[in-house]
Amino acid sequence: MMKETKLFQLVSRENKHEDSIVLVNGPHGPIKIGQGYCTIIAGPCAVESWEDYLEVALFLKQSGAHILRGGLFKPRTSPYSFRGLGKEGLEIMAEARRITGMPVISEIMDLRDLDSLYQQVDILQVGSRNMQNYVLLEQLGKIDKPIFLKRGLSATIEEWLLAAEYIVSGGNSQVILCERGIRTFENATRNTLDISAIAALKGMTHLPVIIDPSHATGIARLVAPMALAAVAAGADGLIIEVHNDPPRALCDGPQSLTPKAFEELAGAIEAIRPYAHNYGTPR
Ligand code: PEP
Ligand code: MN
């Protein structure tokens, strides 16, 4: 029996002082996440159709995004909501990856989909609802693909780092943490964005930290200010929902930016980057 003191070890800053860099193997070679590279991941909540996804992907490519997002297997609160195109959507995503040359990220909910997602997706996302699915985490520790670990809806930072430890201790050190807002008493926003998690995590772990202002707020108008705050606070990047026609989105339309709003935000991010807080590691 191990004593319950040093809870997380491999992901701890004490164990490794230098910031970790996660290498994403995109179609045009590796992309780095970490050490303040400020990686922008963007795309719709879900892959909905060939036309919409390819259109928004091509737009995002020329407006400053580095990685494309798109849900295929969606965890929805209601079983009657749109739950993603599944394997059919994977073909659309693979085509967007091919024509844009951008790496892609999508959520894995079920280990039965691991083989097909592993073949076509560059980063596997573990959603908030699965942060404590330890069977899933253990299996993802055995593969050689970056894992994007979202914070659980009401997980403490320690619980979240312990979830990361499951993956890293299994042998996969390529873990990216994503703060996406936590449940609080506040209901003017969908969740409460824990900006302080960025600075707290920088002291506790060497893993990269990405902020998701879309799920954190649930309101498109709040996405740009929170994204800029996150960059200023020293986040290693952002994941932002963008839909070519948000009112028509099958999932998370109210929090999705229009392509034009995304383009403006990308410009503002570039302007603010020189002022981003530096935690003393190479940038
Ligand atoms: C998502 O990013 O597609 C998602 C479902 O987010 P979360 O797991 O943070 O709710
Ligand atoms: Mn969403």
Atom of ligand 1 nearest to the CA of 151: 9
Q: Is the CB of 180 under 6 A from ligand 1?
A: yes
Residue 191: CB within 6 Å of ligand 1?
no
CATH code given to domain 22-70+82-181+196-275: 3.20.20.70
Distance between CA atoms of 42 and 257, rounded to whole angstroms? 10
- Is 211 in contact with 41 (CB distance < 8 Å)? no
Nearest-angstrom CA–CA distance, 229 and 195: 8
Give the Cα separation of 118 and 4 in Å (integer). Answer: 34
- In 3D space, the residue among 98, 240, 210, 78 whose CA is nearest the CA of residue 146 turns out to be 210
What are the backbone angles phi and psi of residue 205, rounded to the nearest 5°? -140, 160
Residue 280 pLDDT:
78
Q: Where are the domains of the chain?
A: 22-70+82-181+196-275
How far is 151 from 191, CA to CA, in rounded Å?
12
Q: Is 151 in the pocket of ligand 1 (CB under 6 A)?
A: no
∠ CA 198-200-201 to the nearest 5 degrees? 65
Question: pLDDT 10s digit of each residue in the chain, 283 long?
Answer: 555 556 899 999 999 999 999 999 999 999 999 997 999 999 999 999 999 999 999 999 999 999 999 999 999 999 999 999 999 999 999 999 999 999 999 999 999 999 999 999 999 999 999 999 999 999 999 999 999 999 999 999 999 999 999 999 999 999 999 999 999 999 999 999 999 999 999 999 999 999 999 999 999 999 999 999 999 999 999 999 999 999 999 999 999 999 999 999 999 999 999 999 999 765 5
Question: 131 CB under 6 A from ligand 1?
Answer: no
Rg, the chain, Cα only: 17
* C-beta of 45 in contact with ligand 1 (< 6 A): yes
| Mutation test residue for ligand 1: of 125, 153, 183, 210, the one with most atoms within 8 Å of CB | 125
Q: Which residue from 93, 148, 212, 214 has its CB within 8 A of the most atoms of ligand 1, so it is best to mutate?
A: 212
**Amino acid letter, residue 268:** A
Atom of ligand 1 nearest to the CA of 129: 8
DSSP string, 80-146: TS----THHHHHHHHHHHHHH---EEEE---GGGHHHHHHH-SEEEE-GGGTT-HHHHHHHTTSSS-
**Nearest alpha-carbon partner for 87 in 61, 62, 115:** 115
Ligand 1 atom having least distance to the Cα of 180: 9
Spacing, Cα 232 to ligand 2 middle (Å): 24
Report the pLDDT value the prediction gives residue 112, as an integer from 0 to 100.
97
**Residue 3 alpha carbon to ligand 1 centre in Å:** 34
Ligand 1 contacts CB of residue 107 (under 6 A):
yes
